[in-house]
Structures are given as C-alpha cells and as structure tokens.
C-alpha cells in the first residue's frame, strides 16, 4: 500500500484503526532510543566493574567504544539468555532497584517537549480521527501535546498499570480519545523494566488489547518488536 492509498483509507475509515507507538516515536523529542539506553547501561556496568572513567565513553556512536564493551561482556559472559531482552537485562544489571530505574527514566524524559509528530497525533485526537493509542513509552509527551491542544486534562483518558480498569471502561463505553500505557508511567507506582516484569502484560490489559486488535486495524510506529510480552499478544 502506497502513502496516498493509506491516507485515503485512513480518511474514510479512521474509526477502525488504532495506533501503537514505540520508543522510536519519542526520539525526535530528544528522548534516548532503546539502543542508546542499552549502551548507557553497559557503560555503567563496565565502569563499575573495571573502575574505568565514564567520560571515556561519551561518544556512543564510536565504533571502538562499542567494540570494547562488546568484547568485555562476551568474554565475561554478561549476556541475556535471549537477545530480545537486552534492554531489560542490562537495565536491571546497571540499576538493581526499582527506585534507581525510576530515576533513570525520569532523568531521560525530564524537560522534553512534544515533537511535531506528537502534536499531529494530538490534533488527530481533537478531530476524533485518532481514538485509541497503545504505547510502551513511559514519557508524557502525547498527554502534554493533547493537554495543550485541549487546554484541559479532562478530555484524554489515560490508562496505566495502576488504572487499567480505565482502558476496559473507555473501550466498552467508547470514551475517546484513549491512551493506554502498556509499561506504565514513570510517575506512578508500577513500571515494567526488568525481565521478570516484562514476561507478560497485565492480564486484563492484554485481553482488552487482543479483542481490540481483532476488531480494529493497528498502525505501528517506532517499535522494533523487542518485547516478548507485546509480541506475544500481536502474534
């Protein structure tokens, strides 16, 4: 399907499509990608274990830096069982407590402003052309874009792991727009970051998602497919 065909289809059948936003969506707003975060986690672990100065690894794109880290983790067998769990595995290794991991996430999203694309998503919400968004992201950029456009916090329904009944009620009662944060929100109690936490989505949310996907198309943006809990539902 080419771009013009997609636009025409979406214009006429937007009510039958949901959106799924991965970490790549927030990169243009200045939030590190998952791959960059993994590199930062590895640097943290390497420096703690070897006493190296973190400043030596300031350039994450440097091929020599990457090779040094790769050789270290391979030779010391500090590797996840499954490659798809790199993010969760190294995050927990670098920051073993939930509070530390929360602080890392908060520092990564602090002060960021919605990108142009996120503002467009908010505009589609206001036009009733974007009803449901599912996301693995912890940040509040979609919410902030919507709140600014609506001049209110009341229009957008946000469901996190602390309030997943909101998702069920909103879908059943067609209360749009709806944003469902599959891995939680960094400002709330529940976050999914570690391997054990990411093994499966909250049962209620997973069931709602399965039913919704059977009834609607899903537009996927900025998602690499590296989360088994999400991919299990999609498969």
The average pLDDT across 39-63 equals: 92
Q: Is the pLDDT of residue 20 over 70?
A: yes
- Please give the backbone phi and psi of residue 191, each rounded to the nearest 5 degrees, phi first: -135, 150
pLDDT digits (tens, 9 = 90+) for 164-190: 688 889 988 989 999 999 886 544 444
Q: What is the pLDDT of residue 167?
A: 86
The burial of 150, by beta-carbon neighbours within 10 Å (0-12 exposed, 13-18 middle, 19 or more buried), is given as middle
Q: What is the pLDDT of residue 192?
A: 61
pTM of the model: 0.85
* ∠ Cα 229 221 141 (to 5°): 90
- Detail the DSSP E strand segments found in the chain: 17-21, 132-135, 157-159, 178-181, 217-221
DSSP state of 17: E
Virtual torsion, Cα 163, 168, 174, 178, nearest 10 deg:
40
Nearest CA among 156, 158, 170, 165 for reference residue 202: 165
Length of the chain: 235
Asked if 95 and 106 touch (Cβ cutoff 8 Å), the reply is no
Q: What is the pLDDT of residue 83?
A: 63
User: Rounded CA gap, 1 and 18, in Å?
Assistant: 18
Asked if 167 and 189 touch (Cβ cutoff 8 Å), the reply is no
Q: What band does 196 get if pLDDT is binned at 50, 70 and 90?
A: low
User: Rounded CA gap, 183 and 198, in Å?
Assistant: 8
Q: Is the pLDDT of residue 152 over 60?
A: yes
pLDDT digits (tens, 9 = 90+) for 82-106: 766 788 889 999 999 988 988 998 9
Q: Is the pLDDT of residue 201 over 80?
A: no
Q: What is the pLDDT of residue 155?
A: 92
Q: Are strands 178-181 and 132-135 parallel, antiparallel or unpaired?
A: parallel
The burial of 206, by beta-carbon neighbours within 10 Å (0-12 exposed, 13-18 middle, 19 or more buried), is given as middle
3-state secondary structure of 81: coil
Q: What is the pLDDT of residue 189?
A: 44
pLDDT digits (tens, 9 = 90+) for 206-216: 888 899 999 99
Q: What is the pLDDT of residue 151?
A: 93
DSSP state of 135: E
User: Rounded CA gap, 229 and 113, in Å?
Assistant: 29
């Amino acid at each position: 399907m080419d771009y013009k065909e997609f636009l025409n289809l979406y214009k006429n059948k937007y009510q039958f499509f949901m959106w799924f936003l991965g970490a790549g969506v927030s990169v243009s707003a200045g939030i590190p990608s998952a791959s960059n975060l993994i590199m930062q986690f590895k640097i943290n672990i390497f420096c703690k274990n070897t006493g190296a100065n973190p400043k030596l690894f300031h350039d994450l794109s440097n091929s020599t830096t990457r090779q040094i880290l790769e050789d270290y983790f391979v030779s010391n067998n500090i590797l996840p069982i499954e490659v798809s769990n790199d993010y969760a595995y190294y995050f927990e290794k670098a920051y073993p407590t939930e509070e530390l991991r929360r602080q890392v996430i908060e520092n990564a999203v602090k002060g960021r402003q919605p990108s142009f694309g996120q503002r467009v998503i908010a505009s589609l919400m206001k036009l009733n052309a974007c009803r449901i968004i599912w996301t693995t992201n912890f940040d509040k950029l979609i919410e902030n874009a919507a709140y600014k456009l609506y001049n209110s916090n009341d229009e957008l329904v946000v469901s996190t792991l602390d309030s997943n009944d909101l998702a069920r009620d909103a879908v059943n009662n067609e209360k749009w727009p709806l944003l469902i944060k599959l891995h939680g929100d960094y400002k709330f109690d529940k976050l999914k970051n570690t391997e054990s936490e990411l093994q499966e989505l909250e049962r209620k949310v997973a069931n709602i998602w399965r039913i919704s996907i059977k009834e609607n198309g899903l537009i996927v943006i900025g998602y690499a497919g590296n989360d088994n809990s999400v991919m299990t539902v999609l498969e």
